[in-house]
Every structure is written in C-alpha cells, then in structure tokens.
Amino acid sequence: MGSFLFNVFAVFTVVTALFVVVNKNAVNAAMCLLLSLVGVAGLFVALEAYLLAFLLLLVYAGAIVALFLFIVMLLDTKGDDRRRVTGVSLFARLLAIALIGAGVVSFVIHGQIAEPDRTAVPAVGASLKLYAYQLFTTYLLPVQILGFLLLIAMLGVIVLSKKFEGLDDIK
C-alpha cells in the first residue's frame, strides 16, 4: 500500500508541476503550484517524514503561494501572446528533451538506486526538539534574513501596485 500511495503522489506531483509550466493564466499556475506542493507533502507522508510534510504545507503552501497569489492579483498581469518558435528556442527545446530522455534511458538501463543500509545512517533531526534546537541556534540568522527579505518583497509589491494619482501630469 505504501508504494502505491507513493506512486500516486509522484504522478500527481509531476502532472500538477507540468500544469504550472504550461498554464498561461498566472492565478491558475499558482493554484497548480499549490497542488504540486500538496503532492510533495504527500510524498513526505508516504516516506514517514511527517514534520517535513507539515512544514512544507505550512511554509510553502500556506505562505509562499499566498504571497504569489497576492502579488499576481495586485499586479493584475495578463497572459502574453505566444511567441513564434525561432531556431534557437527550437534547438533549446530539443536539447532539453534529449537530455531528459537520456537521463530516463540511463536510469532504466542501470536500474534503480541502491537503498542505503538504514542501520548505518544516523537519525539526525529525527525529533522535533532537535529541529527546533538547530533552527533557533545554528540557523537563526538565515531564518531571520529570509523573513526580512520576504517582508521587503511584500512591501515592494505593495508600493509597485499602488496607483498614484497625479503622476500622469509629470510625464
């Protein structure tokens, strides 16, 4: 049952990630990103990494996708018309498809990755207490810097999206 759920979540994640890439509407792409992150959280649950699944849903699906939607709705972006395919872009697309195909063929030929010995791998960060200790000691400065950068980005979006009256007279 575990491998079946893992495969279902893997397919779901890949399909929704493809919808993020090919979707022309930015709001629909952000919603597909949310579904893709839920699929990744499902993969974490299938791998019995419950804390990582919860943190992914809380931080990325809850905060980052909400910030993306907030930005998209404030900027009121419209989908651009599709550009013509030129020689360089066609070559880049074919090269990307060939590299992905070579990776898949190599994986099929060489078989699956060998599973490491679980007894030899230490359970670093296996408990919530160890996560919290490292978060508030070792990684405190990067977390605070990231929060400050997110705050600056949000304020920048608010300033950029504000419609100033009277600026048309200056131009």
pLDDT the model gives residue 44: 86
Q: Which two tokens stand for residue 68?
A: 């993306």
Here the tokens at position 99 are 């590299």
CATH of 1-80 given 1.10.1200.10, 3.30.60.50, 3.40.640.10, 1.20.120.1200: 1.20.120.1200
Give the pLDDT means over successive 10-residue stretches in the chain (171 positions).
82 92 84 90 84 83 78 66 74 88 82 64 60 78 80 76 60 50
DSSP state of 120: T
Letter for the amino acid at 90?
L
**Structure confidence at residue 120 (pLDDT):** 61
- Two tokens, residue 125: 């960060």
Instruction: Write the DSSP string, 75-113.
Output: HT--PPPPPPP-HHHHHHHHHHHHHHHHHHHHHHHH-SP
Reduced to 3 states (helix: H, G, I; strand: E, B; else coil), residue 20 is helix
Q: What pLDDT does 16 receive?
A: 93
- pLDDT at site 14: 93
The structural domains of the chain, with segments of one domain joined by +, span 1-80, 83-113, 127-171
* Token pair recorded at residue 89: 């872009």
CA 88-30-79 angle, 5° bins: 50
